[in-house]
């Protein structure tokens, strides 16, 4: 099945209210253009340098999302145009994004990345630490970011029960954290090519799909 067919099939099969982020990291701009021509407008990248190159090369109505670990010294480069930073995992990064957004007069949408996987290598907040930070009131003072919701990754395993448990935990966290925000806190980003259907069952509103669209990365 071609990239164009895969995009159209996903657009027609995903439930209403679930957003498709085409994870385009490591794939060249001409491949992304094919997905764009098939109607895809939201793309996710995990490396800043790659994101910058593609942003320059591709149509300007694309919504670019940062989905990979973001270093604070790279924030300034993407804040002017990125539509959503999904992988926000520390106070330091939140404050940096807010500072850079304030500098150029933007409000930047972010997601709070929460660690639920049974793997230390994955990034994200420990839930208790995140709650403590929110209860401190410090986040509410930052006026140039808007927290749209939560993102996370399930454990890398073939055990569906483990994956489901991770997704259900993320969904519970999102529901509990909503008490700290207004109605714009509406996004639960979880689910990738191998597990997005299960993630949707568990309440995902945004799925990040790469290899099922573009094939395995080089």
Q: In the predicted model, is pLDDT for residue 120 greater than 60?
A: yes
Q: How many angstroms separate the CA atoms of 206 and 30, rounded? A: 24
DSSP summary character for residue 114: B
For the segment 91-103, the average pLDDT, to the nearest whole number, is 98
pLDDT score at 122: 73
Using 50, 70 and 90 to split pLDDT, how confident is the model at 125?
A: very high
Q: How confident is the model at residue 25 (pLDDT cuts 50, 70, 90)?
A: confident
Q: Report the mean per-residue pLDDT for the chain.
A: 95
Structure token digits, residue 86: 């999904």
Supply 125's token pair: 């907040």
pLDDT at 117: 87
Q: Tell me if 163 sits within 8 A of 154, measured CB to CB.
A: yes
Overall pTM surpassing 0.85 (yes/no): yes
Q: Please determine, for residue 153, whether its predicted confidence score (pLDDT) is greater than 90.
A: yes
Strand-strand pairing, 145-151 and 63-66: unpaired
Give the burial class of 28: count Cβ atoms within 10 A of its Cβ; 0-12 exposed, 13-18 middle, 19 or more buried: middle
Q: Which CATH architecture has domain 3-213?
A: Alpha-Beta Barrel (3.20)
Using DSSP's 3-state secondary structure scheme, residue 213 falls into: helix
Choose between 145 and 1: higher pLDDT: 145
Q: For the residues 105-128, what does the mean pLDDT come to? A: 91
Task: Kindly state the average pLDDT of the residues 101-109.
Answer: 98
pLDDT tens by residue, 31-71:
999 999 999 999 999 999 999 999 999 999 999 999 999 99
pLDDT at 218: 55
- Dmax over CA atoms of the chain, in Å, equals 51
pLDDT in tens, 173-193: 999 999 999 999 999 999 999
Contacts of 13 (CB under 8 A, 6+ apart): none
Determine what percent of the chain is predicted with pLDDT higher than 70. Answer: 99
């Amino acid at each position: 099945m071609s990239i164009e067919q895969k995009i159209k099939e996903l657009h027609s099969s995903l439930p209403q209210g679930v957003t498709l982020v085409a994870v385009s990291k490591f794939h060249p701009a001409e491949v992304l253009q094919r997905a764009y021509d098939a109607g895809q407008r939201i793309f996710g990248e995990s490396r800043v340098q790659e994101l910058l190159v593609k942003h320059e090369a591709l149509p300007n109505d694309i919504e670019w999302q940062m989905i990979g670990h973001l270093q604070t010294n790279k924030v300034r480069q993407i804040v002017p145009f990125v539509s959503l930073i999904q992988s926000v995992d520390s106070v330091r990064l939140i404050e940096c994004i807010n500072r850079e957004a304030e500098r150029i007069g933007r409000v930047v949408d972010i997601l709070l990345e929460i660690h639920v996987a049974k793997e230390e290598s994955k990034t994200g907040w420990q839930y208790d630490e995140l709650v403590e930070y929110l209860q401190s009131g410090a986040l509410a003072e930052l006026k140039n970011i808007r927290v749209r919701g939560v993102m996370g990754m399930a454990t890398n395993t073939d055990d569906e029960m483990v994956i489901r448990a991770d997704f259900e935990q993320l969904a519970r966290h999102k529901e509990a954290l909503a008490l700290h925000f207004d109605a714009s806190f509406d996004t639960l980003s979880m689910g990738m090519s191998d597990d997005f259907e299960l993630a949707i069952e568990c309440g995902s509103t945004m799925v990040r799909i790469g290899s099922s669209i573009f094939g395995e990365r080089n």
